[in-house]
Structure formats: structure tokens, C-alpha cells
């Protein structure tokens, strides 16, 4: 029984008062009994309302709008309108119950996130793994996770490979294959494989910890609309008391005064913003988007211009092989073997991308590739000396050496020079890195490497236009050729290239001075100043740096920028609901109710019902954001498209 009461305590009091008030209405209007039954719910409800108001006043150390409710209860009791007072107290408690219910749903989302963290894990102690409490894990520990288990920490895979379901963190439904040096995150599920993880972050420092912290603190970061409501509430009490005094002097009717007191309580105004904000932040968190409070939601709803960083935002952030030129198809195997010999032991990102291509696309077995003497050629490329032969992958500066070798001129220059130069020119104009593949002085062909654009970026930009975004601008430190090529590919018609971090900052200031409401999206340390200055800073959390995430107002936990569409739609809907709450259910109802009460059209009972109904409608209106789904969900459509491809 005690467990039942503990789990359902928020329902018990409203239920009891509801039953008592129904009985009070029946006994007041339909069944004559020897005593006034409505005094019972009035005493119970009134005591709770007065107690909570006094405690809130002491805590805040200032007069609160709740004092109007207390005055209304005292006044209705004084004039013998016990049923009015009973309904006032019940509706106040019922409104708070609905607010608590909305908060509880968000808290349940937080609780479900907390439950993603396993209580125990296998920690490496000596030469074996032993099961320990998660509390005994520290950064630097090695943790083993087998198939079917949840990952207990944020870290890097040291050994093994696995298929990880990251839906709880990123909102991405498709599992991701991960292996050595890949990052993994607490609360994600190992669906297949065995991995050993080097622990980097635990507890509140993890990605999941940050999500939980953001949801919990959502109410603390109030929006501008909420600040206006709070300020309005401060002046509301003396204004209403003045109106009551004038009404009493002009009409000599204490019932009108009581009706004004009852209907004027600004409960709906106080609830208008925090209920919508908390519901929206909780909704976004479940989908892998961290929104840091009400101010951010309001600012994002007003954004007209979005500035994008290039690398890791518009592009994937890692180089890939995008094109090949093999001069003589009969030497195709020699071309790939030369690439493998040269890049096998390279630690450079370009070298790694070439090896990845050879293994994934050409099924090359690196174990059969011999090791040679590796040399870095500053400003040019790399080569390997093996069995008195030189194998090289370098830029067009290699022509200088080849032009001094008459033998190579006869075999390569005359036959393939124009074809090679055309390839190099074309790729470099696109902002790509084009390299020649040379085996012992003979050019076998060329390879082009580039940071490729995200496959869904075009659809995302189109969808953002339908959401009211007017301008898209790419800000990058890359050269003009690369910037233009990327913008042409994705459909962005404005860009600024060769920018230092301070120059990105200056450009955003310029946009803001021209009346633009600017959002900045980035993922690197160099983006942090711009993310901070923009009206809304948005970080690509999974691929980005901690500094960028900390500097931002919103973090997309997935590296899918198309999550931005639903986030902007969510903010616009939330902002619309906040304005509905304030102007329709709070201000208009109060003004009309005060006028009708002052003119004698509303008695205290009717005033109580109308006033508290407005508070209930505010909470119900806000709670819609808990289940809000963007009707044009490009995220799901794009996922399906990518899967089919």
C-alpha cells in the first residue's frame, strides 16, 4: 500500500478534492443537508493553497501573485461564499497537478535516460576483466562490453569491433559499425561483437550526463517572454488591488470585488512559458537534440539567416577518394599496389583515406604488401624505397623531377601528359587534392581526394527554406576554389573563404547590424567564438569538439544536420504556444473576466471556474509539445532514402 501511495501521490489529493467538490455542488444545489458540506473541501484545499503561497513568499522574499488567491479565499469565506472558495482552491490545486503531471512526463524521460546507464560493468584489473560497480570506474580504465550489453562510459575502442545502436543518444535509428579508435557513448547498445573501451568520461561528464543536465535545468534558463511575464506579475497585484478598491467605492458590492479577486489571479501567466519550454526541451532531448532553455527556443524561432562552417558541418569532415585516372588499364593492379606500398604506413589523413578505399573498394589485402623505406617530401607528398625502386604519391611538383629524366618523358610525358594535366586542373578547380601515382619514374595515373558533402544537405536546405530561413552563408577558412565548389554542389549562393576565427566573428556582427537574426552551425574549436556571438549557436555534437558544444546554445547529438529542420519547427511551434498561453489564455481571459466581474455579470463561483479553466488550458496547451512531431519529417524520409540507396 505504501508503494502504491508513493507512486501515485500526485493523483491522490486532486482526486479527493474533486470528489468532495462534486458532492459539495450536489448538496449546495440539489440536496438539502443540515450543514454546509462545501466547508470541508474549502478547509482542506484552502489550507494547502495558503501554506504553499506563504512558503513561496518567504522563499522568494517578495510579494507574489499567489497572494491574490489567498485574498480571494479569505474574501469568499468572509462573505459566506464557501462553494466559491472551495472551487478556487480546488482549481488552483488541479492546475498545479496538471503542471506537475507535465513535469513528471519530462522527468520520466530523464529517468529513462538515467536507466540507460548500467549499474555494473567488466573492468580490466590486472590481466583479466572483473565485474564491478559503475561507481568504481575512472577515466583511463579499460572496460569490456559484449553483445547485448549497454556501454557504461564515454570512451574509445581499444580492441575489437561491434555494431552499436546509438538511437538513445543521437536519435539515429540505424546501428553503426565501430572498431578500434572509434568513439562510443554511455547508454548506447552493443548489438553485436565484443569491444574493449578506454574510458574517457564518466557520470555527469558523459554525453548522456549532459543531456540529463540540460533537461533538468531547462526551467532555469527563462526566455524573454517569461521574463516579461514575471515582470508583469510583479505589478499585477497592486493594480488588481487598486481596481478592487475603485469597484468597492463605486458599486458598494463586495461580491463584485470578490469576483475580481478570484478571476484576476495570474496563474495562467506564470505557467505560460515554463510548461511549454520544459515539454519542448524534453521532447527534443529524446530525439538527440540538446536545447539550453527558453531563451534559445525563442531566439531560434526568430532566426532568418544560417551561417555554416564547412568541414564537419556541410561536409563529412574526413577525406575520401572521389576520383581516379588510370593511364593504362593493363597496369591497373600496379597502380593500386603502388598506392598501397606508399600509403600503407602513412599516418596522414589522406594516406588513411587511400588505404580505406583500397581495402573497402578494391578488396586489397595489406598483409601481402611489403614494407619499404618511407619518406616524407615536404610540400609535395610521400615516397617509399623498396628493392632499389622508388614508389611515389605526390602533387604536380613531381613533374619537375620527371622533366629532368628523358626516359620518363618518352614513356609518360608524350602519351599521357595532357590527360594527366587536364585531370589535375579539373580536380584542383573543384577544391580537391589531386595526386600523381608514380612507380619508378613512370606515371601510372592520378587519384583525387576530397572532404565529401553530406548526402542529405541539399534536401535539408530546401526544407529550411520552407521553415522561413531566408539566407544560407558558408563561412570557412578554406580557399575560394574549395568554398565555391562546395557551395555550388549543395546550393548555397553565399560564402566567405579564407576566414580566421575573428573574421567569422566580424562577419556575424555585420549581419546582425543589418537586422539579421543569425544562427551559426559549426563543430570545431575555431567556431566557438562565432557560436557564442550568434543569436543561436548550434554545435555538431557527435563529430565536434567539447569546446564547440559548450559554446553553443543547441547541440545536435547526431552528426546529421537534417535534425535541424525538426528543431527549428519545434521552436516555432513552442514559441507560438507560449504566445497563445500568454495572450489568449492569460491576458485576454483576465481582462475580460475583470470587466465582467466589475459590471456584475460574474459571481465568485463563475469567476473561479473561468479563471482556473484558463490555467488548465495553458498546461494542456503546453503539454502538446511533449508529443510534438514535425509533419515534414525529413530525417525519417532521408534515412529511408539513404537505406534504399
pLDDT digit string (tens) for 197-239?
999 999 888 877 776 665 555 444 444 554 555 566 567 778 8
Question: Do 311 and 457 fall within a single domain?
Answer: yes
Reference 419, options 337, 324, 336; nearest CA is: 324
Q: Rounded to 5 degrees, what angle do the CA atoms 151, 218, 588 make?
A: 145
Question: Do 423 and 463 fall within a single domain?
Answer: no
171 vs 557: CA distance, rounded Å: 8
Q: What is the pLDDT of residues 76-117, one digit of tens each?
A: 898 888 988 888 788 778 767 766 765 665 566 556 667 778
Q: What is the pLDDT of residues 114-132, one digit of tens each?
A: 777 888 999 999 999 999 9
pLDDT at residue 568, as a whole number:
95
Element (H, E) at 391: strand 389-394
pLDDT at residue 222, as a whole number:
45
pLDDT at 248 over 60: yes
pLDDT at residue 479, as a whole number:
78
% residues pLDDT > 90 (the chain): 40
Question: Do 425 and 465 fall within a single domain?
Answer: no
Q: What is the pLDDT of residues 6-44, one digit of tens each?
A: 667 778 888 999 999 999 999 988 898 888 999 999 999
User: Is 445 within the bounds of a domain?
Assistant: yes
| CATH assignment of the domain containing 126 | 2.70.150.10
User: Is 405 within the bounds of a domain?
Assistant: yes
pTM passes above 0.85: no
Q: What is the residue range of 439's domain?
A: 318-452
Higher pLDDT, 142 or 85: 142
Q: What is the mean pLDDT of the chain?
A: 83
Q: How is residue 172 written as a grid cell?
A: 539515429
Question: Do 325 and 432 fall within a single domain?
Answer: yes
290 vs 211: CA distance, rounded Å: 6
How many other C-beta atoms are found inside a 10 Å radius of the C-beta of residue 415? 13
Strands (E), 153-188: 154-165, 176-178, 183-184
Q: Taking every pair of C-alpha atoms in the chain, what is the biggest distance, in angstroms?
A: 122
Among 119-128, 399-408, 463-472, 583-592, where is mean pLDDT lowest?
A: 399-408
| Cell 562552417 -> residue | 309
Question: Do 333 and 411 fall within a single domain?
Answer: yes
User: Is 18 within the bounds of a domain?
Assistant: no
535 vs 238: CA distance, rounded Å: 36
Question: Do 367 and 438 fall within a single domain?
Answer: yes
pLDDT at 57 over 90: no
Q: Are 448 and 323 in contact (CB under 8 A)?
A: yes
Question: Do 322 and 312 fall within a single domain?
Answer: no
The mean pLDDT of 505-511, rounded to a whole number, is 91
Q: Would you please indicate which residues are annotated as catalytic (active-site) residues?
A: 309
pLDDT at residue 422, as a whole number:
92
pLDDT at residue 407, as a whole number:
45
Question: Do 327 and 397 fall within a single domain?
Answer: yes
Question: Do 426 and 494 fall within a single domain?
Answer: no
366 vs 356: CA distance, rounded Å: 11
Count of domains forming the chain: 3
Split at pLDDT 50, 70, 90, the class of 409 is: very low
Question: Do 437 and 389 fall within a single domain?
Answer: yes
Q: What is the pLDDT of residues 545-601, one digit of tens each?
A: 555 566 678 888 877 888 899 999 999 999 999 999 988 988 899 899 999 999 999
68 vs 58: CA distance, rounded Å: 16
Q: Are 162 and 190 in contact (CB under 8 A)?
A: yes
pLDDT at residue 113, as a whole number:
64
Q: How is residue 91 written as a grid cell?
A: 482549481
pLDDT at 308 over 50: yes
Element (H, E) at 488: helix 480-490
Domain end marker among 413, 430, 452: 452
| CATH assignment of the domain containing 511 | 3.40.50.1000
The values of phi and psi at residue 156, to 5°, are: -120, 135
pLDDT at residue 487, as a whole number:
93
Amino acid at each position: 500500500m505504501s508503494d502504491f501511495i508513493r507512486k501515485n501521490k500526485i493523483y491522490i489529493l486532486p482526486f479527493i478534492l474533486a470528489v468532495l467538490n462534486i458532492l459539495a455542488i450536489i448538496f449546495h444545489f440539489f440536496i438539502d443537508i443540515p450543514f454546509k458540506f462545501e466547508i470541508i473541501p474549502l478547509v482542506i484545499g484552502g489550507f494547502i493553497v495558503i501554506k504553499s503561497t506563504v512558503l513561496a513568499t518567504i522563499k522568494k522574499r517578495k510579494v507574489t501573485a499567489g497572494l491574490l488567491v489567498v485574498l480571494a479565499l479569505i474574501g469568499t469565506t468572509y462573505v459566506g461564499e464557501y462553494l466559491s472558495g472551495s472551487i478556487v482552491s480546488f482549481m488552483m490545486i488541479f492546475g498545479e497537478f496538471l503542471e506537475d503531471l507535465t513535469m513528471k512526463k519530462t522527468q520520466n524521460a530523464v529517468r529513462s535516460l538515467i536507466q540507460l546507464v548500467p549499474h555494473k560493468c567488466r573492468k580490466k584489473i590486472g590481466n583479466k576483466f572483473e565485474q564491478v560497480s559503475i561507481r568504481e570506474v575512472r577515466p583511463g580504465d579499460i572496460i569490456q562490453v559484449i553483445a547485448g550489453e549497454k556501454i557504461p562510459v564515454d570512451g574509445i575502442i581499444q580492441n575489437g569491433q561491434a555494431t552499436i545502436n546509438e538511437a538513445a543518444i543521437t536519435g539515429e535509428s540505424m546501428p553503426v559499425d565501430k572498431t578500434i579508435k572509434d568513439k562510443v557513448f554511455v547508454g548506447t547498445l552493443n548489438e553485436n561483437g565484443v569491444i574493449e573501451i578506454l574510458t574517457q568520461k564518466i557520470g555527469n561528464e558523459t554525453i548522456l550526463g549532459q543531456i540529463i543536465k540540460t533537461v533538468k535545468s531547462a526551467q532555469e534558463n527563462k526566455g524573454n517572454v517569461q521574463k516579461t511575464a514575471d515582470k508583469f506579475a510583479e505589478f499585477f497585484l497592486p493594480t488588481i488591488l487598486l481596481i478592487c478598491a475603485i469597484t468597492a467605492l463605486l458599486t458598494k458590492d463586495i461580491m463584485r470585488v470578490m469576483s475580481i479577486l478570484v478571476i484576476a489571479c495570474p496563474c495562467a501567466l506564470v505557467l505560460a512559458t515554463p510548461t511549454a519550454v520544459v515539454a519542448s526541451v524534453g521532447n527534443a532531448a529524446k530525439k538527440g537534440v540538446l536545447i539550453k532553455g527558453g531563451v534559445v527556443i525563442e531566439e531560434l524561432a526568430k532566426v532568418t539567416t544560417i551561417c555554416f562552417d564547412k568541414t564537419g558541418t556541410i561536409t563529412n569532415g574526413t577525406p575520401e577518394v572521389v576520383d581516379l585516372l588510370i593511364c593504362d588499364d593493363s597496369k591497373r593492379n600496379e597502380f593500386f599496389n603502388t598506392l598501397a606500398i606508399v600509403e600503407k604506413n602513412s599516418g596522414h589523413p589522406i594516406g588513411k583515406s587511400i588505404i580505406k578505399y583500397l581495402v573497402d573498394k578494391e578488396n586489397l589485402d595489406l598483409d601481402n604488401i611489403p614494407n619499404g623505406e618511407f619518406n616524407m617530401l615536404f610540400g609535395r607528398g610521400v615516397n617509399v624505397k623498396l628493392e632499389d625502386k622508388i614508389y611515389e604519391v605526390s602533387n604536380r611538383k613531381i613533374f619537375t623531377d620527371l622533366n629532368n629524366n628523358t626516359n620518363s618523358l618518352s614513356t609518360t610525358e608524350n602519351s599521357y601528359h595532357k590527360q594527366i594535366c587536364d585531370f589535375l586542373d579539373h580536380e584542383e578547380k573543384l577544391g580537391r587534392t589531386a595526386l600523381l601515382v608514380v612507380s619508378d619514374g613512370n606515371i601510372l595515373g592520378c587519384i583525387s581526394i576530397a572532404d565529401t558533402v553530406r548526402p542529405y544537405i541539399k534536401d535539408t536546405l530546401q526544407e529550411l527554406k520552407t521553415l522561413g530561413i531566408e539566407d544560407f552563408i558558408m563561412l570557412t577558412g578554406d580557399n575560394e576554389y574549395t568554398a565555391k565548389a562546395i557551395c555550388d554542389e549543395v546550393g548555397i549562393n553565399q560564402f566567405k573563404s579564407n576566414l580566421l576565427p575573428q573574421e567569422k566573428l566580424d562577419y556575424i556582427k555585420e549581419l546582425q547590424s543589418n537586422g539579421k537574426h543569425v544562427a551559426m552551425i559549426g563543430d570545431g574549436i575555431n567556431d566557438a567564438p562565432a557560436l557564442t556571438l550568434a543569436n543561436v549557436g548550434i554545435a555538431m555534437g557527435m563529430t565536434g569538439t567539447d569546446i564547440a558544444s559548450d559554446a553553443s546554445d543547441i547541440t545536435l547529438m547526431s552528426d546529421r544536420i537534417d535534425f535541424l529542420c525538426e528543431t527549428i519547427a519545434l521552436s516555432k511551434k513552442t514559441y507560438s504556444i507560449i504566445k497563445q498561453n500568454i495572450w489568449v489564455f492569460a491576458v485576454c481571459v483576465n481582462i475580460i473576466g475583470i470587466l465582467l466581474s466589475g459590471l456584475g455579470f460574474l459571481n465568485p463561483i463563475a469567476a473561479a471556474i473561468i479563471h482556473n479553466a484558463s490555467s488548465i488550458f495553458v498546461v494542456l496547451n503546453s503539454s502538446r509539445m511533449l508529443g510534438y512531431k514535425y509533419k515534414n519529417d525529413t530525417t525519417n524520409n532521408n534515412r529511408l532514402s539513404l537505406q534504399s540507396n
